[in-house]
Structure 1
């Protein structure tokens, strides 16, 4: 898995340039995409409830918010120029888009995974060391691949000690239901579904590497440079929804119930997923994380 060049991803402010180049121009209609994940469900709410429209109108533009069912495919389509922005993790931003020559900017560092990504084996009492010699199903060259590498490193194993089987996030839960699949690495909500099955063990999760897996809204750097209103509108919409989620009132509960249903679970299930997500409540909190003295050390591990 490519992990180089991640140190220095986040610079002052919420913006952080990644790599290479692309061409864009001033325009007034944009399209961003997202995939189902607890930390990205606010985009569904912001899009379906008119919050993105409100902020876009404020800046004289239009923004479509599109859900895609396959995580890697969403990044592929962003890289191909079909979307101006896309939700992805820090390490995934440095694989497909960078390799495709697309300069990208981390517009919003929304959270870091604090247990939302995990490795599950069939059987009780299993450990990371039990992965040796096994097939492990995951989205290849993604954040799941990175998590597996970190887990293996913790017990002095490497990828050569097992076999990775590329499986899309849309298919990972169904795959685990088959007899052939004994181990998977995935993220919520699929992770929660898999962990709920009897006779399984979660042997490693992202809470053991806090701050390393960051979730972001990534946008085309040149598009953002030519159209700063896009960044202002998306950032405004995002933090309005996050503030609503944290309001702890009837409207907040309704919003969380909406997100839970949209992600295929109930409020309790969704709240459990949020509990393993360190969601930054304010722009100030996100900025403090992005510019913290600890981040360079964390990012050296990712490299």
Structure 2
């Protein structure tokens, strides 16, 4: 599995958009017409591997949508592909979607795949048993990622700020390695790098995404072009997702095999990651679009501005498209 949730990709995104602003529209692979092929991207995260099940079980076709499913080894590449119109849809975090929109991308969220409920963690060495104990300690995380965001939320809960710790910005894999090597006192990482970090003797998670419900949501995001050009296809994608989740529930063993293979891990490892991800039901989707997502978007926007990842809060007009989950037949 490869790193996901890399908000630093916003720099690449803004450059790509700026280069395209003074010339023809960026190169893309659009559907030839309504009903044509839709290119759907996804990458390594337990909440997104159900798309692999959908493809292998023919559930896209069953819902009348022609999908070219594209797996990205690099999550960053999937973000840039959607932002520049090279794919029509992608599964990505709310943080990254907001960063893309702030950079000028025209995107809409049509589905909540999941919330991280434990797979993002702040892990500390032996002797650090609480968030308050982080004061004055060196903490590593990838700057601008959701795990950096989780660290700030955790520090705030303990009455601290980033200024109270020695923040060490490192890529997620490097941060986990530095922690195991004893170079830092704590680290913010997501699965599977949580497994790596916990190899340090005596280490333990002192905060996880489970402590902050709704803070790290993941979504199906589509281009505004697709939304206007072929809303029927968008509905087909959303319908397929819920059919897939139902199929996984009824055929769990087979589904675990499919998803673990796509992830490149054994089923037992995949089962452990799966437990830290809460797949949203239809009712949870409808409730989230009813208000929770807007509140989360505003909070994350503040984080993006404060972290100087964007110059101004991203516009929220048109960001959420709840009509598709509303139209799903239970």
Deviations 1:233-265 (A, max 9, x none): 321322222112222xxx321111221343244
Paired residue for 1:39, among 36, 47, 59? 47
Match of 1:267 in 2: 267
Secondary structure at the aligned position of 1:38 is classed as coil
Aligned mates of 1:124, 1:35 — CA distance in 2:
36
Q: CA deviation at 1:300?
A: 5.7
Equivalence map 1:176-255=2 (5 Å): 176-195=179-198, 197-247=200-250, 251-255=251-255
Secondary structure at the aligned position of 1:289 is classed as helix
Higher relative contact order (CA 8 A, sep 6+): 1
Aligned mates of 2:248, 2:242 — CA distance in 1:
10
Aligned mates of 1:273, 1:80 — CA distance in 2:
31
TM-score (norm 1): 0.77
Aligned mates of 1:74, 1:171 — CA distance in 2:
21
* Contact residue 38 and residue 189 of structure 1 kept, 8 A: no
Match of 2:70 in 1: 66
Aligned mates of 1:136, 1:73 — CA distance in 2:
27
Q: CA deviation at 1:118?
A: 0.9
CA RMSD of aligned residues (A): 3.0
Match of 1:83 in 2: 87
Q: CA deviation at 1:226?
A: 1.0
* Contact residue 172 and residue 190 of structure 1 kept, 8 A: no
Aligned mates of 1:171, 1:30 — CA distance in 2:
36
Equivalence map 1:90-105=2 (5 Å): 90-95=94-99, 97-105=100-108
Aligned pair in 2 of structure 1 residues 26, 259: CA closer, same or farther (>3 Å)?
A: closer
Aligned mates of 1:300, 1:110 — CA distance in 2:
20
Aligned pair in 2 of structure 1 residues 218, 119: CA closer, same or farther (>3 Å)?
A: same
Deviations 1:27-78 (A, max 9, x none): 323322222111112123323x15365257x24x3x2222223333432332
TM-score (norm 2): 0.71
Aligned mates of 1:111, 1:87 — CA distance in 2:
10
The runs of 5 or more residues in structure 2 that have no matched partner are 1-20, 303-330
* Contact residue 177 and residue 196 of structure 2 kept, 8 A: no
Alignment: residue pair count = 274
Aligned pair in 2 of structure 1 residues 33, 158: CA closer, same or farther (>3 Å)?
A: same
The runs of 5 or more residues in structure 1 that have no matched partner are 1-20
